[in-house]
Amino acid sequence: MNSDVQDHHPSVPHESHAAPRGTGHHLIPSHSTASTGNDSMFPFKLEPTDTTTTTPPSGGVDNDTDDSDLPEPRVLLERIPTILQPSIPWTKRLMHFTFAWYTVTLSTSGVSLVLAITPHRFRGLSTIGLVIFLLDLFFFLVITGAITVRFILYKSTFQRAFTRPNEALFVPTFFLSIAAILCNVAEYARIFIFDDDINYRFTGSHASNTTSHSTPWLGNSTFGQPSEPDDEAAPDASFSSFRTFLCIAFWFFSALTFLVSVIQYHLLFTVKAERRLSLTTITPAWVLPIFPVMLIGTLAGSFSKTQDPESAIGMICAGLAAQGLGLLVSFFFFSSYLSRLMAFGLPAQRPGMFIAVGPPSFTGAAVISMASDIPRIFQQLQSLNTSQITILTGIGNTDTLAAGVKLAAIWLGVFLWGLGFWFFVSAVAGIVAGMPDKKFHLSWWSIVFPNVGFTIASIKIGQGLGSEGVLWMGSGLTVALVLAWAFIGYRCVRAVMKREIVWPGHDEDS
């Protein structure tokens, strides 16, 4: 499978090199950045006189990498369906097991996360979501193991994975999967371990006038008062460890993804000219390297509720800065993407158009989620009388200020929701209009994971506005996501068995 980032070329190859996409192996002219000769190799060879074969341009040799551990370049097959081609060992197929497979775990985590927060629930729904989340953890381990084996067996593929734009653009899906897993950990711990309540309980001396409240992780303690040293105080230590883990994970993930986004874009900026991406081929997949940075805000909105006020306000500030960075960088790319659509038409792999739904949707959902914790933070910071936030100095009652922050967040969420909805409908229209390439590609998972953000944003807006209609829309989107996830999962397994993916010339390493 060739990724959606190179589905259009400004110049047309000669007829003698053309072959229908998806009917076997085809050749790309040497000036194209989409493929080179030895990227689509077979462990067998036809006679040169066979009319179904042709010699790759420039001898099919990739001069900028050391492929001594890979099979020798062979004559490529054309027009022969992969199902009719001789089988090759799974160890050979693993050479083409790319980072794009993390879209499977990203989508699965997204579905389980939506099931955890969808507003209209029935008995057992949380258990179904937990089972899907555990299944996602299994997928993550299997995919990570398969990619590790690929790098061990074919050492040169490690460097190629980060320098070939087709595959390099999907490297961030690894970090996106980790972020989605962390969000699920927080949500399902809240549901199954902490009795649907993970809010940090302020126990300072200034909280003595606060209403009494008992939670499982506080044992029999009274809110604002120390627990008795009995056996039931153990859950308090569990919660303390849990929130410490979330705090460390948040800051480590934030630093790592910011650094990775800078490095990865630098590699794409400095890749060799013959492989450099062209504005005529731009798709929403170009924003993927900055996508993990945007999920810092999502993590902040989920984790801040477990933290003390000083730590929580730091998380929220970092999350807000990350959301601004990710959203603005995405907008810069989207302007060129829309220009490309006007000049060159729709991409061949239409499901990838859904990626554009993600940045505005996840940003709107993250901002509303972060703002929902502001009343608790402001109240506790004021009670401490040591607030480091200048705006709180001299304010006797923070309720109005906190309400203003929440209102502004909802307004911003609605503002961005409209853009996400427009991209969503445009992608649906592109698919309904027909897909030139109807074979399964891993880009089909783009139908699921960006729309997870759109669904969560709809739910958050419905909750903020108290709109039952919007909440039912969120529930309807949840059902649609689950159905899409199941169908695409079936097609993914079928594609592997029918050699449509994880096969020479059909993946992002092509």
Most confident of 85-89, 221-225, 488-492: 488-492
> In the structure, what pLDDT confidence band is assigned to residue 290 with cuts at 50, 70 and 90?
very high
Provide the pLDDT for residue 382. Answer: 77
Does 70 score more than 80 pLDDT? no
The whole-angstrom separation of Cα 466 and Cα 482 is 25
264: CB partners within 8 A, 6+ apart: 162, 168, 171, 172, 289
> In the structure, what pLDDT confidence band is assigned to residue 211 with cuts at 50, 70 and 90?
very low
In a domain, 111, yes or no: yes
What residues make up the domain containing 430?
4-17+19-497
The whole-angstrom separation of Cα 101 and Cα 104 is 6
Among 96-105, 198-207, 412-421, which stretch is predicted with the lowest mean pLDDT? 198-207
295-324, pLDDT tens digit by residue?
999 999 999 999 999 899 999 999 999 999
> In the structure, what pLDDT confidence band is assigned to residue 426 with cuts at 50, 70 and 90?
very high
At 77, is the secondary structure helix, strand, or coil?
strand
332-377, pLDDT tens digit by residue?
999 999 999 999 988 888 898 999 999 999 999 999 999 999 999 8
Query: How far is CA 296 from each of CA 17, 72, 146, 262, rounded to the nearest angstrom?
Result: 46, 44, 27, 15
At 259, is the secondary structure helix, strand, or coil?
helix
CATH assignment of the domain containing 269: 1.50.10.150
Report the interhelical angle of 309-344 vs 234-270 (nearest 10°).
Answer: 30
In a domain, 508, yes or no: no
In a domain, 510, yes or no: no
> In the structure, what pLDDT confidence band is assigned to residue 35 with cuts at 50, 70 and 90?
very low
The whole-angstrom separation of Cα 457 and Cα 476 is 13
The mean pLDDT of the chain is: 79
Nearest Cα to 337, choosing from 275, 267, 430, 416?
430
437-473, pLDDT tens digit by residue?
778 889 899 999 999 999 999 999 999 999 999 999 9
In a domain, 504, yes or no: no
Average pLDDT on 283-290 reads 92
Contact 508, 98 (CB under 8 A): yes
Cβ atoms within 10 Å, residue 174: 19
Average pLDDT on 227-256 reads 77
189: CB partners within 8 A, 6+ apart: 198, 242
The whole-angstrom separation of Cα 320 and Cα 165 is 29
For every residue of 110-130, DSSP letters joined together read: HHHHHHHH-SS--TTHHHHHH
> In the structure, what pLDDT confidence band is assigned to residue 68 with cuts at 50, 70 and 90?
very low
pTM of the predicted model as reported, rounded to 2 decimal places = 0.79
The whole-angstrom separation of Cα 472 and Cα 493 is 32
> In the structure, what pLDDT confidence band is assigned to residue 328 with cuts at 50, 70 and 90?
very high
In a domain, 311, yes or no: yes
In a domain, 223, yes or no: yes
Count of positions (residues) in the chain = 510
372: its two tokens: 């929902």
Higher pLDDT, 504 or 508: 504
Average pLDDT on 247-271 reads 94
In a domain, 437, yes or no: yes
Q: How many domains does the chain have?
A: 1
In a domain, 77, yes or no: yes
Provide the pLDDT for residue 396. Answer: 56
The whole-angstrom separation of Cα 184 and Cα 352 is 25
